[in-house]
Amino acid sequence: MPESPAPVVGVLALQGDVREHLRMVTAAGGIGREVKVPADLDTIHALIIPGGESTTIGRLARLYGMIEPLRKHIRAGLPTFGTCAGMIFLASGVTEGAQPQLGVLDMVVERNAFGRQNESFECDLAVEGWEETIHAVFIRAPIVSSTGPDVEVMARHDSRPVLVRDGDILASSFHPELTGDLRLHRMLLAMADKP
Ligand code: GLN
């Protein structure tokens, strides 16, 4: 049997830790590609929205005319993984104020919610169905305040959801691209591979 070609994984390259994700995609066996304009979305099998600053990512996405095309492709089943600011951008609401969001993931998040003295921290998390824990790096991370009925919580920290999945959408409040643990990137590649 001929080997199926490696999936092309786009990383939304408006702001944030794009390079780290591209490196992880390559290490996980995919082909990484920067995504900046709507036409780029037609050339990929999966998408990553990186961490950074969600208000900036949202504003730039609007400026580049990316909001509607992103919604359309993700709703049509483009496997998508959002980390930290990327998770916020995917969600349907924030607890305070308003900012551009895709609203494709049915949950509300509270930004920068772990408190000042806890702005950045690391810990090991148990993940639903995994034998080994994952080492999670949190940087000014959001808390998931509420989730819709279709959102599956895969991991919690202090009883709050920090890793969720809804069908083809995966989102984490932490940064797997900073630890070299390839399991979540591999999960995204597997989602892209399915018929
Ligand atoms: N605090 C940032 C925001 O609200 C997210 C931080 C991150 O992505 N590391 O967008």
Q: Please give all residues whose beta carbon lies within 6 A of any atom in ligand 1, as ranges.
A: 51-54, 84-85, 88, 111-112, 139-140
What's the gap in Å between 50 CA and the centre of ligand 1?
A: 10
Q: What is the pTM of this model?
A: 0.96
Q: Give the H or E element holding residue 86.
A: helix 85-90
List the residue whose alpha carbon is closest to atom 1 of ligand 1.
140
Rounded to an integer, what distance in angstroms lies between the CA atom of residue 6 and that of residue 32? 10
- Look up tokens 């504003």; give the residue: 59
User: Within a 10 A sphere around the Cβ of 145, how many other Cβ atoms?
Assistant: 16
Q: How far is the CA of 6 from the centre of ligand 1 (A)?
A: 30
Written as tens digits, the pLDDT of the chain (195 aa) is 556 689 999 999 999 999 999 999 999 999 999 999 999 999 999 999 999 999 999 999 999 999 999 999 999 999 999 999 999 999 999 999 999 999 999 999 999 988 766 689 999 999 999 999 999 999 999 999 999 999 999 999 999 999 999 999 999 999 999 999 999 999 999 999 765
Q: Which of 44, 40, 42, 48 is nearest to 18 (CA)?
A: 48
Strand partners, 138: 121
Known catalytic residues?
84, 175, 177
Check residue 126 and give its pLDDT.
98
Residue with tokens 């950074």: 52
How many degrees, rounded to 5, is the angle at CA 78 between CA 74 and CA 83? 75
Q: Which of 140, 173, 174, 177 to mutate to test the pocket of ligand 1 (most atoms within 8 A of CB)?
A: 140
* pLDDT attached to residue 44: 97
pLDDT of res. 12 = 98
